[in-house]
Amino acid sequence: MSKLPPYLEKPWNVYHATLKVPKDVQSFIGRKKFYKSLETDSVGEANIRKLPVIAEWKTQIKVARAAQKDGQNLSVDEQVAYYKGEIERNFKGYEADGLMLVHDILDEKYLRNHNQQDMTVIPARTDTTDAEKKAAYTILNRVSGDWTATHERVDEFIAQAQYTPQTADECRTNLRLFCDRFAVFEVISEEQVEAWILELLQGLQLRTVKKKIGFVRTYWNYCKKRRYTTANPSAVLTDSMYPKVQKTKATVTEVVKAKRKAFTVDDYHKLLSAKPDDHALCDLIRLAAYTGCRREEVCSMPLRNVLSDR
């Protein structure tokens, strides 16, 4: 029997994700082991579905350790994991009551000053910042499942996309930019994306920006299709986001100048003379020049494909 991949078990015909809880937080978390059905009999699909599950469990372990230390602040992600864990442990079957308790805790901690309430009004807190109030709303909506963090499914998406390593890195970089800019899917507006695009265009070509948005659109569609979010990318990521470019003589000339030009023979010799002692690099330059291969094609070429007659 072949060995199962890490964090997977298959007690019957369905794969389950599993993770042992460290001894130092077992009493806090209330169990010795995390265990969850992935609802698939495909090992490939299970390897993809386990990623966000394991990530959330590891965050809960981190939060449990932090909660045992006084005065340590938790991030939004860590607070979401903490409250989700508390509801799962202490309000099984009564999740609505647990969510109401989370609402009351966040309301009292960040939003309203319950110590100064009168018969009709609970005044807003003045000792918390707007960022803290916004974070409280985000935490509550993510714990309830109404909002989905944009970064939650990035690893899962890239794993199933079967990109080449280079494309996977490019995708991850662009999605990180998107996630840093927009925390949750459900509150993103077309106007906000349009403003982001205009900022990107300050230093990038339009086609480059469109490629970045292409990664975002594909990822968002994936999350929508899998029902990780109810937000519809088609309602936000539209063609009207991009600025209209008038085809004048000046703009056409600019586009032509921006296009990549072929290397000349002089350029080839300059490249070789720039690093004459780096024999490996010079060999790669010669190989690329005489074969027309791209960088990734040259670097991934196995020796068995290099024959003496070629």
3 within some domain: no
CA distances (Å), 219 to each of 18, 150, 162, 291, in order?
Answer: 26, 9, 13, 36
CATH number reported for the structural domain that contains residue 176 in this entry: 1.10.150
Domain that holds residue 270: 265-305
24, 85: one domain: yes
Query: What is the reported pLDDT for 85?
Result: 86
Query: Helix (H, G, I), strand (E, B), or coil: what is residue 149?
Result: strand
Annotate 139-153 with b (16+ C-beta within 10 A) or e (fewer): bbbbbbeebbbbbbb
241, 269: one domain: no
The answer to whether residues 10 and 48 touch, using CB atoms and an 8 Å cutoff, is no
The answer to whether residues 50 and 17 touch, using CB atoms and an 8 Å cutoff, is yes
239, 278: one domain: no
Q: Give Cβ neighbours of residue 185 (< 8 Å, ≥ 6 apart).
A: 147, 148, 150, 220, 223, 229, 231
Query: What is the reported pLDDT for 310?
Result: 56
32 within some domain: yes
140, 26: one domain: yes
Query: For 16, phi and psi rounded to 5 degrees?
Result: -125, 145
Last residue within a domain, chosen from 144, 174, 206: 144
**Tokens coding 101:** 């308790």
Q: What is the mean pLDDT of each run of 10 residues along the chain (310 residues)?
A: 84 91 86 91 91 89 75 78 87 91 88 71 84 92 95 94 92 96 95 93 90 96 94 90 71 61 84 87 87 81 71
160, 138: one domain: no
25, 117: one domain: yes
47, 174: one domain: no
Query: What is the reported pLDDT for 247?
Result: 60
The answer to whether residues 147 and 185 touch, using CB atoms and an 8 Å cutoff, is yes
310 within some domain: no
248, 281: one domain: no
121, 181: one domain: no
Q: How many domains does the chain have?
A: 3
Last residue within a domain, chosen from 121, 144, 167: 144
Query: What is the reported pLDDT for 71?
Result: 44
Query: What is the reported pLDDT for 252?
Result: 58
108, 180: one domain: no
Q: Where would I find the H helices in the chain?
A: 26-29, 43-67, 76-90, 95-106, 130-144, 154-161, 165-181, 190-200, 206-225, 249-258, 265-274, 279-291, 295-299
Closest C-alpha among 85, 83, 93, 127 to residue 109? 127
**Tokens coding 183:** 């925390």
149 within some domain: no
Query: What is the reported pLDDT for 174?
Result: 96
129, 172: one domain: no
Last residue within a domain, chosen from 97, 117, 144: 144
Closest C-alpha among 264, 283, 263, 265 to residue 275? 283
Query: What is the reported pLDDT for 216?
Result: 96
246 within some domain: yes
The answer to whether residues 275 and 282 touch, using CB atoms and an 8 Å cutoff, is yes
190, 295: one domain: no
Query: What is the reported pLDDT for 41?
Result: 92
2 within some domain: no
Query: Helix (H, G, I), strand (E, B), or coil: what is residue 78?
Result: helix
> Residues, the chain, total?
310
